[in-house]
Amino acid sequence: MGHWAEKYIGGRWTSRACAAARIMATDIALKCGWHKTDRLADGNAVYLSQRTRSHHLGVVAVADGQAYIVHAVEGGGVVCSSHAELVQNGWRITEIYTCA
C-alpha cells in the first residue's frame, strides 16, 4: 500500500483551490485545537514563505524516515518537496502546526 500523499501528487493548481485551502486551514486550526510545534511529523501543517510573511500552505508527509512537504505550486500542480528542494526554490518553513 502506498503513502497517503500519493493520491495528491500531480493534482492541478488553481488560485481558487489555494484560497479555499487557506480558509479551510484557518477554520480547522480554530476548531480542532492545532498548536505550534517544531516537529515535521506526518500530517502536520506548515506555513511557507518566499518573502517576509507566510502565504503558502503545505502538509508534512514522512516516508522512509524523511520529511517531505506536499504543496501546490502555480504552474507545477501538487508536488512533494524535500527540505533541500524547498530551500533551493526559495521557500522557507515559517510555522509548523500539529493537531492537539
Q: How many domains does the chain have?
A: 1
CA gap 81, 71 in Å, rounded? 8
pLDDT in tens, 57-92: 888 889 889 999 988 877 777 888 999 999 998 899
- Which phi and psi (to 5°) does residue 96 adopt? -130, 135
- Name the 3-class secondary structure at 50: coil
* Residue 54 identity: S
Task: Tally Cβ neighbours within 10 Å of residue 9.
Answer: 14
**pTM confidence score:** 0.73
Which residue range forms the structural domain that includes residue 32?
Answer: 4-99
Query: 66, exposed or middle or buried, with CB in 10 Å at 0-12, 13-18, 19+?
Result: exposed
* Confidence bin at 1 (pLDDT 50/70/90): very low
